Structure 1
C-alpha cells in the first residue's frame, strides 16, 4: 500500500518539470490526482504521461472563475481534498529601475494571488489532517540581483505559510513551503546560460537538482511521514541557500 492510498490531491500548473514529477509520484503512491494547466495540449500530454488515476482540468490558476470550476468538478467527483500542491507560478528578471506595472502584476497575480485563492477555495473540501504545500524559491532567501519582485512574491508564500499554520490548526491542516534550488527543468533551463552556470557554481553539491528530488520532498510533506511538521520551508537546493 502506498503512503497516499485513497488520498485526493490537487496540483496546479503541473504540465511539466517538478510538478509533473510530483503528480507521477503521488499517483504511484496511491493518490487520485487532479492537475491543472493553461495549455490543453500540454495538459493532455501530461495526463497521458501520468497514465491513470489522474484528471487534467484546463484553466488559469490566477483566474478565479477557473478555480471555481476546478473545485466544483472535484466536489462533484470526489467530494474531498486531502492534498493541495499550489505550484503554478512564473519567474522573470526585472532589476530595480526597469520594473513595469505589467511585470509586477504578472508575478504577483500568479505567484501570490493564484495561491491565496486556490487555498481559500479548496478549504471547504479539505479533510481534517490535510496537507497544503506551496512552491517557494531560494530567491526569497538570497536576494539575487534582478530577481527582486520574484523573490518578494515567493517570500509572501513563506509569510502566508506561517499565518495559515495558525489559522488552520483546528482542522489539523499542515502548511509547508518547498524552496527549490536550480532544478533540471524547463523553468530553470530557459534562463540565460550565464545565469544558469553562475547559480550551479554556487551549489555545494556541484550540480542541478532533478525534478524527482523535488517530488520526493513533496511526497514527504504530503504524507503522514511529516505528521508533526508544519509552517516550515524545506529547501531542496543542494545547499545553495544554506551555506
Structure 2
C-alpha cells in the first residue's frame, strides 16, 4: 500500500490512538502516507509524544475526546474536518474493559462500559459519515471475548458482541455508498493493559495458541491497514478474529 495505491493524503481517524493497539495503528497509517488524527481520552503526553515521533513530514493531529461524551465526539470530528477536510478511514479502537463478577455489579459499573464501547462507536460513526466520501472505510474493534467470554468479563464481552452485530448491520446500510464496515476481534495482545494477565497466564495462553506466542500490536495494525486499503474492497460486514488460532 503506497501512494500509487491511492493512500497518500487520505485521512484516518483512530480513537484510542495514544497507546497500545491504537498507537500501532496510527504509526502504521502514518508510515503508509495517511494523514492521521489521534483521538485520546486523557493521556495528552502520550498522544503528543506519538505525534512528535511520527516525524516532521507526518501530517498528524492529536485531539482529546472521550467518546462516551457526545460533545467530545462532535469536537473530534469538527477539528478533523477543519484541519484535513474529510474522513476517509475511521477506526473505532477506543474502549474500556473493567471486569467484575455477577453479584458485584451496579449501574455505575455497567453504564460507562456500554456508553464508551457501544454508544461511542455508534455516535462517532454517525458523526463521521457526512464527511466520509463514498468508498470510505470503517473498522471497529470487537474482541475474541465476544465469542469466548471468561468469568467476570460478561459486560465487556457483551459490549464487544454488540460491535460484531453493529458492524454487520452498518455494512448493509452503507453498502450503497461503497463504504465498507468491518471489525477486528483481537485475542490477548501485549500492551500495558495486559501486563498483569500475561504475567499470570502467559504460559497458559501460549500453550493454547497454535502459533505459540502472545500477539503483538503490529499484528493487529497490519490487519487494520489491510481492511482500510483498496485491496479489501470486497470485504464488508465481517469480523476478523485475530487471536493466533486459540483453541
Deviation at 1:143, TM superposition (A): 2.1
> Is 1:77 matched up with 2:80?
no
Q: Deviations over 1:117-175 (max 9, x none)?
A: 11010010011000100111000001211111110000000010111011111111100
In 1, the alpha carbon distance for the partners of 2:195 and 2:126 equals 32
In 2, the alpha carbon distance for the partners of 1:142 and 1:122 equals 31
Asked if the contact 1:188/1:196 (under 8 Å) is kept, the reply is no
> Is 1:24 matched up with 2:27?
yes
In 2, the alpha carbon distance for the partners of 1:152 and 1:227 equals 28
Following superposition of structure 1 onto structure 2, how do residues 19-58 of structure 1 map, counting pairs within 5 Å? Answer: 19-38=22-41, 39-51=43-55, 52-58=58-64
Q: Identify the residue that residue 225 of structure 1 maps to in structure 2.
A: 231
Asked if the contact 1:35/1:56 (under 8 Å) is kept, the reply is yes
In 2, the alpha carbon distance for the partners of 1:196 and 1:122 equals 38
> Is 1:137 matched up with 2:140?
no
Distance change >3 Å, CA 53–CA 87, structure 1 → 2: same
Asked if the contact 2:142/2:183 (under 8 Å) is kept, the reply is yes
- Residue-pair matches, total: 241
Q: Deviations over 1:213-243 (max 9, x none)?
A: 1110000000011110001111111001xx4
Question: Which of 92, 101, 105 is the aligned partner of 1:99?
Answer: 105
SS of 1:143's equivalent in the other structure is coil
Instruction: Give ranges in structure 2 of 5+ residues lacking alignment.
Output: none
Question: Which of 171, 183, 187 is the aligned partner of 2:189?
Answer: 183
Deviation at 1:76, TM superposition (A): 1.9
SS of 1:179's equivalent in the other structure is strand
SS of 1:215's equivalent in the other structure is helix
Question: Which of 195, 206, 210 is the aligned partner of 2:212?
Answer: 206
RMSD over aligned Cα atoms: 1.5
Asked if the contact 2:202/2:214 (under 8 Å) is kept, the reply is no
Distance change >3 Å, CA 127–CA 190, structure 1 → 2: farther
Q: Deviations over 1:50-91 (max 9, x none)?
A: 232111011212111111111111222222111000000011
SS of 1:35's equivalent in the other structure is strand
Deviates more, 1:34-43 or 1:128-137: 34-43
Question: Which of 231, 238, 242 is the aligned partner of 2:244?
Answer: 238
In 1, the alpha carbon distance for the partners of 2:202 and 2:95 equals 19
In 1, the alpha carbon distance for the partners of 2:114 and 2:189 equals 22
Distance change >3 Å, CA 138–CA 206, structure 1 → 2: same
In 1, the alpha carbon distance for the partners of 2:218 and 2:198 equals 23
The TM-score normalised by the length of structure 1 is 0.94
The TM-score normalised by the length of structure 2 is 0.93
